[in-house]
Each structure stands twice: as C-alpha cells, then as structure tokens.
Amino acid sequence: MFHSQPQFTIKVEKNKEFDKSCVIDTFNIGSGNIADCLEHCLENCRCQSFQICQNTKCQLCSSHKKENSSLLHDKDGCVYAMYEMRHLTETFQKLEGQSSCMSCSMKYNCCQQSGICRENKICKPVNSQEQPWKRFTCECPDGYHGENCDQPITSCQGYAKGSRKSGMYKVVDSIGGPLYEVFCHFDSDSAWSLVQSYSFANRSLDQFKKSLSNNRPISENALTWSGYRLGKARMESIKNNSSFLQFTCDYEKHIDLNQSDFVQLELQNLKTTLGGNNVDVLELSGCTSYVLVRNGRGKIGEYDLNYCKIKLCQFPDWPLHVVFENSDPPSCMFNAVSCSGYTYEYFGSFHYSIDYCVKRVHRCIQNGNSTTQLWFSTRKMT
C-alpha cells in the first residue's frame, strides 16, 4: 500500500465500464479495494485508468475517458476509476527513498523499462498538468518521423505537426550524413526552412554575389543572420521537399511577417520565358516569365503586392532576386505609388537599388544591418 496516498486523486463513475479492447490486464483484489487496484495500475506504465467489476475483478485500461469517452459504456456492477498524480516526480522520489529493492525504481520510472517503446522510438517521462494520468510518451529520435520512426526529416515540413514554435530544428543531411540544424518558421499553413540570410553590409561577400547553383556555404552549422548559407546539397534537399519559395527582410528582428517585407511564389508557376518549361530556381541562369502575386503573398513597406507582376532572375555572378514589371497596371499598388517607371531589383540583388526611391520603402536595404532571407516550404494551396 502507498504511504503517499494523499498525492493521488481518484475519481470514480459507478455502473460504468470501459471497452474491453482497452483492458491490458486483470487482477483479483479484496472486495471493492480501490487502493489495491490503483497500485496494480501504477505498476503498469501503460495503465491510464482502471475499473472494478463484480467487486473483486480489477481491470487495467490503456486509455482514458477524457481521450476516448465514446468507449465508456453503462455496466451494472462496475466502477470506472481515473487517477491523477499532480506531483508525480516528488511521489516517485519518496517511494524510492523508502525502499531498498531494485524493482521499485523500475516500477515507477517507466522509461527505465526495456521495450516500453516499440521500433526506434525513444521513451520520455511525462509530468503533464493537462494529462496527469500519463507517465511517459514515445517519440522518434531527432531527424526522423513516421509510425516506425524510419522516415528521415529533410526539411521543416517534418515538424509541421509538432509544437510549431519557430526556432532551430534537426534535419537529416541530404547525403545521408549527420544531422544538422536548420531554422524553421511556422505560420498557420506552412513550415518554412531557412536556406540563406545576409545583411546589406555583407552583400559584396562572394557567397552572396553568386548564383545558388554554386556550392558556397557559410556558417551553415551555426546560424548567423548577417551571413548564412547552406551548402548546395542541403539546399537542394530542402527545395525538393517544397512547393513554395519565399524572400523576407529583417525577419530575425521581428519573427513576424507582418513587420517584414516578403514575397511568396509557388515553384510550379515559375516558367522559362521560352517554351514555358518548369524552372529549377537553384540552377536558373536568366529570368523566369512574369507571375502574378495573389492572395496576400507579398508586401513591401506599407504596400500590398497583390496583382503585381514579378519575375525571378539569376546569373552566374548575380544572385537570385525579384524584378517588378515596370508597366504594371494601377491594380499593382506598389508600382503605382512608389518607384513606377523604373526597373529595380528587390529581395536579393542590390546592384541598382541604392536609389532613394527604393531605399525609402524596402526594409532589406535601409541600413547596413538590414537582412534578406531565402526560404522554402510546402504549404496549402489557396
């Protein structure tokens, strides 16, 4: 019996029984002794609730009413019980401290039990206020996901179903090498992988003057917003798992696209000017045909880029960048009110962008510390 019984809260529902498919073990107990049944439950790490039927039959359940309420049915002569352990760690320490047997710590520290998680999954202790009946969870090792944890994560998309908190995440190198970290930005319908970032002051560095077809990594294992670029193999791996490209300005200062200049383009819409063939943006040498920005996928300064026509250009000694069509109709508010009548480069090329007209509105070039980012992502179609 437990000396720390006040640590546990038990709630019961009379004449209720959980579905038999969730019963993982059965014991005979003294007549209606709910404490004995609780002890059996706590000795089995998979037990999340329990029930006593016919007053002496203790049945352990691998699920819980709050997660599977549809599995709870009316049953005369049964009592369904749920327990909570709000101070789980403290309780375990006290129990282990009062016993000299080796089995006690195994009993209550679930992650010390061999085979508790199947396949390649890793056991991690849980002390949750929201789900106090859970004592452990099985997670995939860093860089892998899937039912059997055998699917490599090669971009931020592999973490789209997780916490969705922007930051550094581990992904698998495209050439099967060690894990490396990449910065992920999550919004409502996408997970963006950062492949390049540099400051306006560093625009003349060789890594940022050349085409993406060149393998010129810098700080790829230690993110520096003023000078960062993944190697081509890693960049290619992320791009191949993506359907959109995005440029941003000064992202690291706000972590919020609403306070940044940005533009998003669907990769399948990028075509060659002759023949209308699909374009590999990493290998692009020249310019794509113009595409129309729609659905709130871009802004510069205070100006929405909806209905603006833009193209991507890149040459061996001229990095990937955005060019606006200078004959856009008035429906393109950016050209209508800012630098209309001129061809300027934005988001990545600043050969002719020092002009006050551009510098006045474009966050990527307002001072030496202004930064430009390139991202790839898979996102919902809108």
Helix (H) or strand (E) run with residue 40 in it: helix 34-43
**What is the chain's alpha carbon radius of gyration, rounded to the nearest angstrom?**
29
Q: Quick one: DSSP state of residue 165?
A: -
Indicate the pTM of the whole model: 0.70
What one-character DSSP code corresponds to residue 94? H
- Cα gap 210→174, rounded to integer Å: 22
Instruction: Determine contact, residues 117/138, Cβ cutoff 8 Å.
Output: yes
| CATH level 3 topology of 7-86 | Hepatocyte Growth Factor (3.50.4)
On the 0-12 / 13-18 / 19+ scale of CB atoms within 10 A, 64 is: buried
Instruction: Find out whether 61 and 134 touch, Cβ atoms under 8 Å.
Output: no
H/E stretch holding 124 reads: strand 122-125
Which are the contacts of 69, defined by CB distance < 8 A and separation ≥ 6? Answer: none
Interatomic CA distance for residues 3 and 23, integer angstroms: 27
Query: In angstroms, what CA-CA distances link 248 with 52, 137, 253, 345?
Result: 60, 37, 11, 14
pLDDT confidence of residue 8: 74
d(CA 310, CA 348): 14
Which of 159, 139, 158 lies closest to 147, judged by CA? 139
User: How is residue 66 written in tokens?
Assistant: 């709050």
| 130 or 322, greater pLDDT | 322
CA–CA separation, 133 and 84 (whole Å)? 5
Alpha helices in 193-326 (DSSP H): 206-209, 232-240, 251-254
In order, the DSSP letters of 362-378 are: -GGGSSTT-EEEEEEEE
Listed by start position, the domains of the chain span 7-86, 152-379
**Mean pLDDT highest for which of 1-5, 67-71, 236-240, 304-308?**
236-240
352: DSSP letter: S
pLDDT: which is higher, 334 or 212: 212
Instruction: Note the pLDDT tens digit of each residue in 182-228.
Output: 999 998 888 999 999 999 999 989 899 899 999 999 999 999 999 99
pLDDT in tens, 6-22: 467 788 999 999 998 88
Per-residue model confidence (pLDDT) at position 302? 83
Question: Cα dihedral angle (360, 364, 370, 374), rounded to 10 degrees?
Answer: 170
Look-up of token digits 């960048």: 321
